[in-house]
């Protein structure tokens, strides 16, 4: 395995923590809402990426580490999307299962400014079963461990913490805490709270200035029996306090930009440098530089996603197939899709569509455009334009939405829809379906439906021509 720049793997790094799905909505503001003094955001576009500790795992993979991510993913589309993204980014996921749904964090931005954040999360907790052998093996074979606690319960599991205590005797363990999370295990190599987190864990009000931060760092160093505490201070850098040494400020250069994910970049870089044998001071200095560059470069919104993954796709209008699929997924439903030209609708089509609809909670028909049909069937087809074919399909009880695509096959559309089931007639096999490999990226499946003998559009056309 190699880093994205082609260099060799740096180290085996295990990231432990709570996964989220992050979505950013970008738009323009040119007026205020007439109902209230609130901005109207128009021309929205959407971008999705791994969030929470999953972002830390993504950043670690981007640095070239061989990454295993020990997490708990929930049921539903958000968890599947995070897992699919991480798989494409060469991150091995060890899933301890979440009793609930993977949380989502949605930000609304315009011209680089954050306007609003919406959090979607169940009251959920990681599964209560025993820590899996796969998780224990990953932690025991790691060269460094980063615990990226996002306060959703994973880092509080006793069996996981016991295994981390064992690991801390052998390898560097870095702990990035969260205000709603738990204290680190005793004896971590480095803890990386920000100034607010440091004050909270120290049981004090947020102190003004560096002198107050020094007090908090010293308190946490003793309370957590850590080898070092680095309190991150944003554009002021970080204050490092190591056992047996006086605290010192590691400054940063000013950097304007999106700070989302800067703490993750700091912790990941520190863990990676410690795994290579760097001193704590050198690791923190490198982490400050990396976080500063990360913010200046655009922050989490610039995280590299797999080739072909939808990035900043247009936010679709109400009533679209994509919006329907997203709504069904958000409530835990199963999205089914099928596709074809449907030039002359016949009994075989209707039987197949009804069978497909029975497989889930909605059915989207992926319809070849007129240009696509001509390439596949010849200059004399289609007999009906795409608007008419779509209208006929939408009138059927089994069909919930129709989406037209221009390509020869609907892989790009399926990437946007994120369907759970792709249904096709028995005249196809999975080996002949290029869509099958696309669905496997996020855990979807192909269903081959019974074929109704003697029913085909070509047969109907031939019968009409003969009758004429």
Q: What was the pLDDT predicted at 76?
A: 72
335-340 vs 362-368, strand pairing mode = parallel
Does residue 4 fall inside a structural domain? no
Does residue 311 fall inside a structural domain? no
Does residue 271 fall inside a structural domain? yes
Q: If DSSP codes are grouped into helix, strand and coil, which group holds residue 197?
A: helix
Cα-based torsion angle of the residue sequence 260, 202, 71, 284 in order, rounded to the nearest 10 degrees: 60
| Same domain membership, residue 462 and residue 325 | yes
Q: What was the pLDDT predicted at 427?
A: 60
| Same domain membership, residue 200 and residue 105 | yes
Does residue 257 fall inside a structural domain? yes
Domain boundary among 302, 337, 372: 302
Radius of gyration of the chain (CA): 26
Q: Give, as one character, the DSSP assignment of residue 58.
A: H
Does residue 92 fall inside a structural domain? yes
Tens digit of each residue's pLDDT, the chain (468 residues): 334 444 444 689 999 999 999 888 888 888 999 988 889 988 777 778 899 999 999 999 988 999 999 999 887 778 888 888 898 888 999 999 887 788 889 889 887 788 899 988 766 667 666 789 999 999 999 999 999 999 888 999 999 999 999 999 999 999 999 999 999 999 999 999 999 999 999 987 665 678 889 999 999 999 999 999 999 998 899 999 999 999 999 998 876 677 888 999 999 999 999 999 999 999 999 999 999 988 887 777 777 666 555 555 555 555 678 878 877 876 778 999 999 999 888 888 899 999 999 999 899 999 999 999 999 988 878 888 899 999 999 889 899 999 999 888 898 889 888 899 999 876 655 556 778 888 888 889 999 887 665 455 555 445 445 444
CA angle 416, 315, 324 (to 5 degrees): 60
Q: How far apart are CA 139 and CA 216, in angstroms?
A: 30
Domain containing 216 — which CATH number? 3.40.1190.20
Which H or E run includes 114?
Answer: strand 113-120
Cα-based torsion angle of the residue sequence 455, 460, 462, 465 in order, rounded to the nearest 10 degrees: 160
Residues in the chain: 468
Q: How far apart are CA 355 and CA 358, in angstroms?
A: 5
Q: What was the pLDDT predicted at 173?
A: 98
Find tokens 């709603």 and name the residue. Answer: 180
| Same domain membership, residue 346 and residue 296 | no
| Same domain membership, residue 91 and residue 153 | yes
Q: Which residues are catalytic?
A: 264
Domain containing 322 — which CATH number? 3.40.50.620
| Same domain membership, residue 181 and residue 157 | yes
C-beta of residue 230 within 8 angstroms of C-beta of residue 191:
yes
Q: What was the pLDDT predicted at 345?
A: 86
Does residue 454 fall inside a structural domain? yes
Does residue 1 fall inside a structural domain? no
Q: Encoding tokens for residue 33? A: 């809402």
Q: What was the pLDDT predicted at 6?
A: 44
| Same domain membership, residue 370 and residue 251 | no
Total of domains in the chain:
2
CA distances (Å), origin 52, targets 15, 22, 49, 89, 150: 11, 8, 10, 16, 6
Q: What was the pLDDT predicted at 16?
A: 97
| Same domain membership, residue 254 and residue 146 | yes
Q: Is the dihedral of CA 418, 419, 420, 424 positive or negative?
A: negative
Q: How far apart are CA 154 and CA 25, in angstroms?
A: 29
Cα-based torsion angle of the residue sequence 281, 283, 287, 293 in order, rounded to the nearest 10 degrees: 100
Domain boundary among 268, 302, 336: 302
Give the helix ranges, DSSP H, for 358-450: 370-377, 386-394, 411-417, 435-440
| Same domain membership, residue 144 and residue 290 | yes
C-beta of residue 300 within 8 angstroms of C-beta of residue 55:
yes
| Same domain membership, residue 232 and residue 112 | yes
| Same domain membership, residue 150 and residue 104 | yes
Domain boundaries, position 322 = 318-467
| Same domain membership, residue 255 and residue 141 | yes
């Amino acid at each position: 395995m190699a880093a994205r720049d082609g260099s060799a793997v740096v180290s085996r790094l295990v990231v432990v923590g709570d996964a989220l799905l992050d979505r950013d909505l970008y738009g323009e503001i040119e007026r205020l809402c007439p109902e209230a003094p609130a901005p109207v955001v128009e021309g929205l576009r959407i971008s999705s990426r791994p969030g929470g500790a999953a972002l830390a795992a993504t950043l670690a993979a981007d640095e070239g580490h061989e990454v295993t991510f020990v997490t708990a993913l929930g049921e539903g589309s958000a968890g599947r999307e995070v897992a699919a993204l991480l798989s494409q980014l060469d991150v091995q996921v060890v899933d301890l299962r979440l009793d609930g749904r993977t949380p989502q964090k949605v930000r609304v931005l315009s011209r680089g400014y954050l306007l609003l954040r919406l959090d979607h999360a169940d009251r959920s907790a990681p599964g209560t079963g025993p820590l899996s052998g796969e998780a224990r093996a990953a932690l025991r074979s790691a060269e460094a461990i980063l615990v990226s606690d996002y306060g959703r319960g994973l880092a509080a599991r006793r069996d996981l913490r016991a295994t981390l205590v064992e690991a801390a005797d052998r390898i560097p363990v870095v702990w990035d805490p969260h205000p709603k999370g738990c204290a680190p295990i005793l004896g971590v190599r480095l803890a990386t709270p920000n100034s607010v987190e440091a004050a909270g864990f120290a049981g004090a009000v947020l102190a003004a200035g560096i002198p107050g931060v020094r007090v908090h760092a010293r308190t946490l160093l003793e309370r957590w029996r850590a080898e070092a505490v680095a309190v991150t201070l944003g554009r002021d850098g970080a204050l490092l306090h190591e056992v047996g040494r006086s605290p010192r400020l590691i400054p940063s250069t000013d950097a304007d930009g999106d700070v989302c994910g800067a703490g993750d970049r700091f912790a990941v870089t520190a863990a990676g440098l410690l795994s290579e044998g760097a001193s704590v001071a050198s690791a923190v200095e490198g982490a400050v530089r990396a976080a500063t560059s990360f913010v200046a470069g655009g922050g989490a919104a610039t995280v590299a996603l797999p080739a072909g993954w939808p990035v900043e796709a247009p936010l679709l209008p109400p009533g679209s197939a994509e919006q329907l699929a997203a709504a069904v997924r958000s409530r835990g439903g199963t999205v089914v899709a099928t596709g074809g030209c449907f030039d002359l609708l016949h009994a075989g089509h209707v039987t197949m569509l009804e069978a497909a609809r029975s497989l889930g909670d909605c059915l989207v028909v992926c319809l070849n455009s007129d240009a696509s049909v001509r390439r596949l069937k010849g200059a004399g087809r289609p007999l009906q334009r795409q608007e008419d074919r779509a209208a006929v399909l939408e009138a059927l009880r089994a069909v919930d939405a129709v989406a037209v695509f221009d390509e020869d096959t609907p892989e790009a559309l399926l990437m946007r829809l994120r369907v759970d089931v792709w249904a096709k007639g028995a005249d196809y096999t999975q080996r002949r379906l290029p869509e099958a490999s696309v669905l496997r990226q996020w855990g979807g499946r192909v269903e081959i439906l019974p074929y109704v003998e003697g029913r085909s559009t070509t047969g109907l056309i031939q019968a009409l021509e003969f009758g004429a």
